[in-house]
Chain A
């Protein structure tokens, strides 16, 4: 393995040496691709502020409450932190149910999951308004 070893080195040593250069070549390619990707991002991504898309994944009855799972996607180019979601369940009779949810971080073009817990079934005869009320830059 060691090229400066004495004796039987010969062919094996030069083969090992060649292999080292192959490994080095692969690593060189890896770093070039990595830097190329970053330069591409830096040059073409224009740093759009966070934009949020909220999707209801499912509603599940657990005991006598209803959990509404939501997925929030940040479609912007910048990470948002302390992202606050608000859900208001409007009923024909009785008071509205307002719930809040907070994510520590929502990175750019990434998703986070969470759940609102309601006393009424959000699937039947009610409307639910979902919105992001605020966020801060990390």
Chain B
């Protein structure tokens, strides 16, 4: 993005590009984080959740953004420091967007402690900054060619993890997520695991041919299933568990209940992982 060039180039085109990039990033942050900005459980989590876990979430967010910037950047021969700058820029945009939206919604205001305000903004930063970073691949006119979108196996896995994190984050804070798991029997859970795998495989098979993966119509279904769907599902489950732990949903809770909640969150997460190529 042109932001790192701000101090170097002060010409009018450079300025307008920087402005356009910032506008795109703000739009992306807003679109990606609006569902969460307008969810009251997210506000509650902002002041109730464990501070160390909140800090860890931000710490995890930065390398994720850097890698994401590297994956979806326009130029393939970018320097790492540009990706770092992009990631920091996205983080900043995420914070500004969250803060402004929360003030306008009256979710933060006078009479609240710094602890509460900081928490409410911080928890929104992860999805908002991912949105800010993705904005250029979504809104950008300079989409990379199909050739450039070819991914290595590990790059594919990384995108899956981001997709899982993104969709998982969207639904994880809501109370419905755990209520569903409370109402389920083990048989419901089995059915949901199978359904998640089925949906995931459908996405991977359909989307895989379009992009640059090594999946071709000649690839036998079981080969793609073992190499992409199953690892993708395992990733989505791990990401789901991490999100649940971050939100304190695993505290003082039995293993059985943790597993069921992870399976429930794993459903949207796995769909997000499989559709990552479409979203990201």
Contacts and interface: CB of A to CB of B under 8 A. Distances in A.
B234 A27 contact: yes
Interface size on B, as a range, is: 20 to 34
A7 to B, nearest CB: 15
Contact of A108 (B153, B187, B230, B254): B254
Contacts of A35: 190, 193
A40 to B, nearest CB: 8
Contact of B186 (A3, A41, A107): A41
Interface stretch (A16-24, A59-67, A90-98, A115-123): A16-24
Given A34-B193, A35-B193, A41 B256 contact: yes
B231 A108 contact: no
Interface residues of A, number: 36
A28 B226 contact: yes
A110 B257 contact: yes
B221 to A, nearest CB: 13
A78 to B, nearest CB: 9
B44 to A, nearest CB: 12
Contacts of A53: none
B178 A105 contact: yes
Interface in A1-45: 1-4, 16, 19-21, 23-28, 30-31, 34-35, 37-39, 41-42, 45
Given A31-B193, A42-B190, A24 B185 contact: no
A109 interface: yes
B150 interface: yes
B18 interface: no
Nearest to A80: B182
Contacts of A138: 179, 182-183
Interface in B145-189: 150, 152-154, 157, 178-179, 182-183, 185-187, 189
B253 interface: yes
Given A16-B153, A26-B234, A37 B182 contact: no
Contact of A107 (B157, B214, B257): B257
Contacts of B36: none
B254 A21 contact: no
Contacts of B233: 27, 31
20 contacts: A3-B214, A20-B153, A21-B227, A24-B227, A27-B226, A27-B234, A31-B193, A31-B197, A31-B230, A31-B234, A38-B186, A38-B259, A41-B256, A81-B182, A105-B179, A107-B182, A108-B254, A109-B256, A111-B252, A112-B252
Interface of B: 150, 152-154, 157, 178-179, 182-183, 185-187, 189-190, 193, 197, 214, 226-227, 230-231, 233-234, 237, 252-254, 256-257, 259, 263
Q: 8 closest A-B pairs (Cβ-Cβ)?
A: A42-B186, A27-B230, A1-B152, A24-B226, A109-B254, A79-B182, A41-B186, A111-B252
Given A24-B227, A38-B259, A110-B252, 15 more contacts: A1-B153, A21-B226, A23-B227, A23-B231, A24-B230, A31-B233, A34-B259, A35-B193, A38-B186, A47-B185, A79-B183, A105-B179, A108-B256, A111-B252, A138-B183
